[in-house]
Chains A and B, each alone.
Chain A
């Protein structure tokens, strides 16, 4: 019995407010009895209370409001005219409703408040209506009779003046209610009523004895604009605090230092407090989802259980609003496409009931919201195929994209996950809209999926929009802020390490971060500036955007601070690199980098270019790199090359002295034919020792023609699929990947073969099996 549950509490707060409005409306109505607007407003209020009370099983409340509603609906429709008597009974009804609410608030139940008298009075006042809706009780008070005669007459002005005493006669209606109801002054019942109720009901004592603040008094409604303004001011305060703290840091005055520390503390607490006023539990938007899931489940013939974890996780009201639609869409998507039909689930050995889990939690200054299902999962291969079909990516680029990245393509505009457009989703509101919405509030979204086991969509949302933790960095002498939400880690390399750790393949820098290739983007290049750092140090901010990681090379990292995001003018928004600006602790203005835009600009432009230039080279090489097995070979100089296994016909060893020359080409006699040789180390510009007695040769045969590719050593055969690929390429390479913990270059087999035999793919085979090109040479 620790009070009321949330729904009832909310109902009470709302109803109290509505009733106050009702008083005003009713009184005003007497002055202008024909005002449809007011009547409708009153009607709505009563209707709402009736609806909710029915739902919450407060039957007496429902009964009173029901007859009241009947009367109001007729007044509204013009079937009845408003007379002072009718106004009185309506006000009487309002008082009774108040008493009931007070009792509910104090005890959780309707207590001993009796409603029959009011119901009777209202019904009586409706008497002359064509069809009486409520049953008229026997002991209908005769006192009401004169009122009926007055009915057709429009309320006279004096009626309005007699308004204040009006409720008084109502009290005289013989009824047991009168002890509970507070007469005449209608402003007080809220406060007084509980006392009456407590006297009557032992339950009130059980509630702990301590006088609880009335629900309506413990909360107030505040204009969101006011909160916004407060938030803004607090933002300014935080900035000023930052400035003072920085300034005082250089001072020796201990009193000043102490005062500034105190200011620091208070400002932080104030900031937190004001932020809290705008916070609402995520349950506000989640509470509507069980219904969505249930209805949708029925519609799709699926049985789905919705589980929620962390429903009291709070976030800013504006953000909450912004997240609502995307979240609902994700949930619908999961039920519609994620979770399989019961028979499919049974066949897959899963329980027939699917589980959809919503999780929310705070994590390093962000709110992480997950929508997870235990459904069929998303097959990256299908996503990839679809993306290619829709022209969102070339087959070639797809082959070099890791499965995890392929999944993120469902967020691309023009990609619809629904194989068949159903009634439920696939109505044009695609995942790209979800993503755009989430990004517009500074959040991120990513999807993870294990085919057969389920899918998790993870949203990262900042706690608030106004103040964000950010990393300040320096680039070409200016400072820029990077929102922490995109920041994963910082890597600092001294000159010596940078020289070896930052590998440049084909002019594009990459850094090997714990075995993964991290494409690097120099901020100076993006901004068209010149770095002022010449000591060779490299500072990399590892950022994540749209499920992709990249390293932003900056000159220096300054520090992390809370920044207040200021909008920038239209001229700067159009540049599309800055999400805003902020004032730093020392008063200078710093631009806030838009990481998403940065990634799009820096990474895509580059990869697109490369993809196109590589298309031709790739056609002959295996396009189907998916699940491709790779032969790993060393080519000298510590370099490793991967060659698709399906282009390897045989591995051979050839004695060095058996290599002969034809013109400027090397050949070897092999199985009665002349085999042109390409030495991969020379072809790719690596220089290994060439004084081996035996050459390791990879023979590739096609249409009766063969070439031999000489490598230094055959290392291994690996599954190329798990590799992380990068788009860095060079002459004769398709790119690079991490295979077996080392960066490995992917050989452009076609180019290598053409180096050995320029006519391999085009020239006819001569009778002797000698390549035509060699004959000419």
Chain B
């Protein structure tokens, strides 16, 4: 951790919509988030990559749902916990992320930013831009772009 902790491009502060996933707190830029929905009926897609949980009907629009637990190499969500759907919009296309629970929108300070902790394993490391050190909690900044390009 030298002074060259110049994080990759958009480490600026601003607002992150945060959510819980397997006990960790993650955040995505508020600007990307279109809406948050309760668990939806999913249509599975046979032969799709494992991270594709299925398709949801978002008011007549068909949106691909990415299981973020799978994407980040976490164990499957325990039975009985319904996923929360975060719909993000990238390049005009809506994609949704399945997470455990939604949390607050947090104002983050670039000064608190650090590169991804070394403890993160390979697949997750690519999807995490870095961590914001909040009081008593690390907030992992998710690279939405990479996360949805399953």
Q: Is B86 an interface residue (CB 8 A)?
A: no
Contact B60 A236 (CB under 8 A): yes
Contact B55 A571 (CB under 8 A): no
Of B43, B93, B95, B149, most buried by chain A (CB within 10 Å of CB) is B43
Per-residue CB contact flags for chain A residues 564-584 toward chain B (1 = under 8 Å, else 0) read 001111111001011001110
Q: Which of B27-35, B45-53, B98-106, B125-133 contacts A (4 or more CB under 8 A)?
A: B45-53
Partner of B57, one of A577, A588, A591: A588
Q: Which of B38-65 contact A (CB under 8 A)?
A: 41, 43-49, 52, 54-57, 60-62, 64
A581 with B47, Cβ < 8 A, contacts A568-B64, A569-B64, A571-B150 known: no
Contact B44 A478 (CB under 8 A): yes
Contact A589 B57 (CB under 8 A): yes
Assembled-state Cα–Cα distance A571/B71 (Å): 13
Of A236, A527, A572, A589, most buried by chain B (CB within 10 Å of CB) is A589
A590 with B43, Cβ < 8 A, contacts A571-B150, A575-B48 known: yes
Give chain B residues whose Cβ lies under 8 Å from the Cβ of A570: 149
Contact A571 B52 (CB under 8 A): yes
Give chain B residues whose Cβ lies under 8 Å from the Cβ of A520: none
Of B46, B54, B150, most buried by chain A (CB within 10 Å of CB) is B46
Assembled-state Cα–Cα distance A566/B46 (Å): 18
Measured as residues with beta carbon below 8 angstroms from the partner, the interface class of chain B is: 20 to 34
A591 with B60, Cβ < 8 A, contacts A527-B47, A528-B47, A571-B49 known: no
Give chain B residues whose Cβ lies under 8 Å from the Cβ of A668: none
Partner of A568, one of B41, B46, B62: B62
Contact A591 B55 (CB under 8 A): yes
The minimal Cβ–Cβ distance linking A238 to chain B, given in whole angstroms, is 10
Contact B47 A569 (CB under 8 A): no
Q: Which of A385-400 contact B (CB under 8 A)?
A: none
Contact A589 B55 (CB under 8 A): yes
Q: Is A115 an interface residue (CB 8 A)?
A: no
Q: Is A465 an interface residue (CB 8 A)?
A: no
Contact B45 A583 (CB under 8 A): no
Give chain A residues whose Cβ lies under 8 Å from the Cβ of B95: 569
Q: Which of A552-604 contact B (CB under 8 A)?
A: 566-572, 575, 577-578, 581-583, 587-591
Assembled-state Cα–Cα distance A588/B40 (Å): 10
Assembled-state Cα–Cα distance A591/B56 (Å): 11
Q: What secondary structure prevails in chain A residues at the interface with B?
A: mixed
Give chain B residues whose Cβ lies under 8 Å from the Cβ of A265: none
Assembled-state Cα–Cα distance A240/B47 (Å): 30
Q: Is A292 an interface residue (CB 8 A)?
A: no
Assembled-state Cα–Cα distance A529/B64 (Å): 20
The minimal Cβ–Cβ distance linking A530 to chain B, given in whole angstroms, is 11
Give chain A residues whose Cβ lies under 8 Å from the Cβ of B150: 571
Number of interface residues of A (CB under 8 A): 25
Contact B45 A582 (CB under 8 A): no
Contact A581 B44 (CB under 8 A): no
The minimal Cβ–Cβ distance linking B17 to chain A, given in whole angstroms, is 21
- Closest Cβ neighbor of B60 among chain A residues: A236
The minimal Cβ–Cβ distance linking A775 to chain B, given in whole angstroms, is 58
Contact B47 A587 (CB under 8 A): no
Give chain B residues whose Cβ lies under 8 Å from the Cβ of A567: 62
Contact B60 A583 (CB under 8 A): yes
Partner of B45, one of A236, A578, A587, A588: A578
- Closest Cβ neighbor of A590 among chain B residues: B43
Partner of A583, one of B44, B52, B57: B57
Per-residue CB contact flags for chain B residues 109-126 toward chain A (1 = under 8 Å, else 0) read 000000000000000000
Q: Is A239 an interface residue (CB 8 A)?
A: yes
Give chain B residues whose Cβ lies under 8 Å from the Cβ of A572: 45, 48, 52, 55, 64
The minimal Cβ–Cβ distance linking A619 to chain B, given in whole angstroms, is 37
A582 with B62, Cβ < 8 A, contacts A571-B150, A591-B55 known: yes
Contact B62 A575 (CB under 8 A): no
Assembled-state Cα–Cα distance A582/B61 (Å): 8
Partner of B47, one of A236, A577, A583: A577
Q: Which of B74-96 contact A (CB under 8 A)?
A: 93, 95
Contact A591 B64 (CB under 8 A): no
Assembled-state Cα–Cα distance A571/B95 (Å): 11
Assembled-state Cα–Cα distance A566/B94 (Å): 13
Assembled-state Cα–Cα distance A589/B44 (Å): 9
- Closest Cβ neighbor of A524 among chain B residues: B46
Give chain B residues whose Cβ lies under 8 Å from the Cβ of A566: 61-62
- Closest Cβ neighbor of A565 among chain B residues: B62
Contact A589 B47 (CB under 8 A): no
Give chain A residues whose Cβ lies under 8 Å from the Cβ of B44: 478
Give chain A residues whose Cβ lies under 8 Å from the Cβ of B57: 583, 587-589
Per-residue CB contact flags for chain A residues 119-160 toward chain B (1 = under 8 Å, else 0) read 000000000000000000000000000000000000000000
A575 with B43, Cβ < 8 A, contacts A569-B64, A589-B62, A591-B55 known: no
Assembled-state Cα–Cα distance A568/B48 (Å): 12
- Closest Cβ neighbor of A567 among chain B residues: B62
Per-residue CB contact flags for chain A residues 744-775 toward chain B (1 = under 8 Å, else 0) read 00000000000000000000000000000000
Contact A528 B46 (CB under 8 A): yes
- Closest Cβ neighbor of B63 among chain A residues: A569
Give chain B residues whose Cβ lies under 8 Å from the Cβ of A478: 43-44, 46
Assembled-state Cα–Cα distance A572/B49 (Å): 8
Q: Which of A228-256 contact B (CB under 8 A)?
A: 236, 239-240
Give chain A residues whose Cβ lies under 8 Å from the Cβ of B61: 566
Of A236, A527, A583, A587, most buried by chain B (CB within 10 Å of CB) is A583
The minimal Cβ–Cβ distance linking B84 to chain A, given in whole angstroms, is 19
Of A529, A571, A587, A590, most buried by chain B (CB within 10 Å of CB) is A571
The minimal Cβ–Cβ distance linking B24 to chain A, given in whole angstroms, is 24
Give chain B residues whose Cβ lies under 8 Å from the Cβ of A578: 45
Partner of B60, one of A239, A527, A529, A590: A239
Give chain B residues whose Cβ lies under 8 Å from the Cβ of A569: 64, 93, 95
Give chain A residues whose Cβ lies under 8 Å from the Cβ of B56: 589
The minimal Cβ–Cβ distance linking A581 to chain B, given in whole angstroms, is 4
Give chain A residues whose Cβ lies under 8 Å from the Cβ of B43: 478, 581, 588-591
Per-residue CB contact flags for chain A residues 34-45 toward chain B (1 = under 8 Å, else 0) read 000000000000
Of A236, A566, A569, most buried by chain B (CB within 10 Å of CB) is A569
Give chain A residues whose Cβ lies under 8 Å from the Cβ of B54: 589
CB<8 Å pairs between A and B, sample of 17: A240-B60, A478-B43, A527-B47, A529-B46, A566-B61, A567-B62, A568-B62, A569-B64, A569-B93, A569-B95, A571-B52, A572-B55, A583-B60, A589-B43, A589-B55, A589-B56, A591-B43
- Beyond contacts A571-B48, A572-B55, A589-B54: 12 other A-B pairs, Cβ-Cβ < 8 A, are A239-B60, A478-B46, A529-B46, A567-B62, A568-B62, A569-B93, A575-B47, A577-B47, A588-B57, A589-B57, A589-B62, A591-B45
| Interchain residue pairs A-B with the least CB separation, the first 4 | A527-B46, A589-B43, A569-B64, A566-B62
Q: Which residues of B are interface residues toward A (Cβ below 8 A)? A: 41, 43-49, 52, 54-57, 60-62, 64, 93, 95, 149-150
Q: Which residues of A are interface residues toward B (Cβ below 8 A)? A: 236, 239-240, 478, 527-529, 566-572, 575, 577-578, 581-583, 587-591
